[in-house]
C-alpha cells in the first residue's frame, strides 16, 4: 500500500508523485509537507503532524489511507489469503516508517550525511509546543534543535550530536527526541489499527518496513537514526518500541540492509550494518514479532547471498533455536539479474533459502539441484531479460 511518492530515493528508477488532488491541497497549504529548519518542503509524503486533521478535502490523511485499503480489500477480496498473502502498509517516504530526513533528490543529502530533523511544518510545531508546555518548559516548544548541523555534516561537526557534551544527551535532547520519535510511533499505531481492522480474518499478514540506517551507527549519538525518528543511541534501544508497537497489532517487522557486511562500508563513517541487523533481531525476539528482510542495494554475488543466508538464519550468539526470518524480499529485478552467471547464482541462492538453516544437504548438492532449475527456466529468463530492456 504505497502512500508515498516514488522518485528521489535509493534505487528509484521512475517518478510517480502523490495523487493530483493531494498535491493541490499541499500547494494551497505547504505545511502539509514535511519541512526542515531552513524551510525546505518535502512532498514525498503528507506530514504526520496532520494525521488526524481533515486537511484533504474534508478527510484526514489516515482516513484516506484507510479508504484506499478498504477499497483494495473490497476489489480483490477473492484473491486475499490465496494469491495475496501479505499486505505491506506504507507509513512514510519509500514506504518506510520514518521521517524524510535524508532526501537524495536534487543532491540535498549525500551518504553518509547525518540528515536533518523534519518537524518544522506548523502542525508539527503546534504538537511540539503542546508537549513542551505539558513538560513545564514552554520555551522548548518554539523550534527543534538549532545546533544539529546540516544534511551532510557528520556528528562531530555539530554541538547537538557530538559525543562529549552533545545536546542529544541533555534533558532538552531527551525531551525533544522522545517527542519526535513518539510522534512517529503514534503515526504507525494509527495506520496499523486501521489496517488490522480492514484486513482482519482475510488470511493476510500485515507488514511494515523500517529503514536500515547503518551509517554512524558506531558513534554514541547515532545521529542519522535520530533525524529519521528512531531514538536509538548507545544508551537506548530505539527498535524495541517499534517492535512492540508492531507486535500489538500482529504485524511483521520488515528490515533492510541484510546483505551488507560492516567492512564493506566506509569505516571512517562508523557504518555497522551487521551490528544493526543483530540489534533489530534481538529487539524483535524480545517483542516476539516476526522479522522479515530485504537487501538495500542490488547485489548478484555469492558473498552477498551468503550474508543474507547468515542474517536470515537469525543465529544470534548461536542461540536462535527454531527462529528464522519469516520472509525475504530480493531487490531488484532488472536485466543484470538475468545475466547467465548472475541467474545461476540467484537460483542456487533461492534454493538454499528454501532449504532453511536445518538442511543436511551439502553446498555442492544444493548447487547441482539448482542447475536443473537454471536449465528449465532458460526460456523464461530470456523473455524476461528482453522485456526489461524495453
Alpha-carbon distance of 322 to 303, in angstroms, equals: 24
**C-alpha cell of residue 263:** 567492512
176, 144 contact by CB (below 8 A): yes
**C-alpha cell of residue 188:** 504507525
Look at strands 252-255 and 327-329 and give their pairing: unpaired
**C-alpha cell of residue 177:** 527526541
Alpha-carbon distance of 102 to 152, in angstroms, equals: 9
Please return the burial class of 357, using the count of CB atoms within 10 Å of its CB with bins 0-12, 13-18 and 19+: middle
Among residues 363, 327, 357, the alpha carbon closest in space to that of 345 is found at 363
388, 334 contact by CB (below 8 A): yes
Kindly give the interhelix angle for 302-312 and 340-355, rounded to the nearest 10 degrees.
Answer: 20
Alpha-carbon distance of 342 to 338, in angstroms, equals: 6
**C-alpha cell of residue 277:** 541487523
Alpha-carbon distance of 247 to 290, in angstroms, equals: 8
21, 68 contact by CB (below 8 A): no
In the chain the beta strands, taken as DSSP E runs, fall at: 33-35, 41-46, 86-88, 205-210, 252-255, 291-294, 327-329
Task: For residue 332, say if its preceding peptide bond is cis, omega within 30 degrees of 0.
Answer: yes
Angstrom CA distances, 47 to 29, 80, 318, stand at: 12, 30, 42
**C-alpha cell of residue 379:** 526460456
Q: Which residue has the cell 508515498?
A: 4
**C-alpha cell of residue 343:** 541467474
User: Under DSSP, is residue 194 helix (H, G, I), strand (E, B) or coil?
Assistant: helix
Could you give the residue numbers annotated as active site?
Answer: 96, 294
Amino acid at each position: 500500500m504505497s502512500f508515498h511518492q516514488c522518485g528521489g530515493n535509493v534505487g528509484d528508477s521512475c517518478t510517480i508523485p502523490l495523487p493530483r488532488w493531494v498535491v493541490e491541497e499541499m500547494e494551497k497549504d505547504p505545511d502539509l509537507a514535511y519541512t526542515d529548519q531552513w524551510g525546505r518542503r518535502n512532498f514525498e509524503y503528507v506530514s504526520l503532524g496532520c494525521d488526524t486533521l481533515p486537511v484533504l478535502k474534508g478527510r484526514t490523511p489516515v482516513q484516506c489511507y484507510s479508504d484506499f485499503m478498504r477499497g483494495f480489500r473490497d476489489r480483490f477480496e477473492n484473491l486475499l489469503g490465496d494469491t495475496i498473502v501479505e499486505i505491506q502498509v506504507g507509513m512514510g517516504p519509500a514506504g518506510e516508517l520514518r521521517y524524510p530526513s535524508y532526501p537524495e533528490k536534487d543532491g540535498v543529502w549525500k551518504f553518509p550525511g547525518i540528515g536533518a530533523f523534519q518537524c518544522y511544518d506548523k502542525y508539527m510545531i503546534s504538537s511540539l509546543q503542546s508537549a513542551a508546555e505539558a513538560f513545564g518548559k514552554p520555551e522548548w516548544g518554539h523550534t527543534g534543535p538549532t545546533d544539529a548541523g546540516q544534511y551532510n555534516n557528520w556528528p562531530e561537526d555539530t554541538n547537538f550530536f557530538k559525543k562529549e557534551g552533545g545536546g542529544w544527551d541533555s534533558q532538552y535532547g531527551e525531551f525533544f527526541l522522545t517527542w519526535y520519535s513518539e510522534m512517529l510511533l503514534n503515526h504507525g499505531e494509527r495506520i496499523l489499527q486501521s489496517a488490522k481492522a480492514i484486513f482482519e480474518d482475510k488470511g493476510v499478514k500485515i507488514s511494515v518496513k523500517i529503514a536500515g540506517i547503518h551509517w554512524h551507527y558506531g558513534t554514541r549519538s547515532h545521529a542519522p537514526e535520530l533525524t529519521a525518528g528512531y531514538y536509538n543511541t548507545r544508551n537506548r534501544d530505539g527498535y524495541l518500541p517499534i517492535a512492540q508497537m508492531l507486535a500489538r497489532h500482529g504485524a511483521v517487522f520488515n528490515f533492510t540492509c541484510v546483505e551488507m557486511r560492516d567492512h564493506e562500508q566506509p569505516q571512517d563513517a562508523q557504518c555497522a550494518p551487521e551490528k544493526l541487523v543483530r540489534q533489530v533481531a534481538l529487539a524483535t525476539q524480545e517483542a516476539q514479532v516476526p522479522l522479515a528482510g530485504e537487501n538495500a542495494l542490488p547485489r548478484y554475488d555469492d558473498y552477498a547471498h551468503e550474508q543474507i543466508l547468515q542474517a536470515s538464519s537469525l543465529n544470534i550468539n548461536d542461540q536462535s533455536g527454531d527462529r528464522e526470518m519469516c520472509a525475504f524480499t530480493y531487490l531488484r529485478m532488472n536485466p543484470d539479474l538475468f545475466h547467465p552467471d548472475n541467474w545461476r547464482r540467484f537460483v542456487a541462492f533461492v534454493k538454499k533459502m528454501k532449504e532453511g538453516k536445518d538442511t543436511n544437504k551439502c553446498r555442492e548438492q544444493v548447487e547441482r539441484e539448482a542447475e536443473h532449475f537454471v536449465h528449465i527456466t532458460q526460456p523464461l529468463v530470456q523473455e524476461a531479460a528482453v522485456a526489461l530492456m524495453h
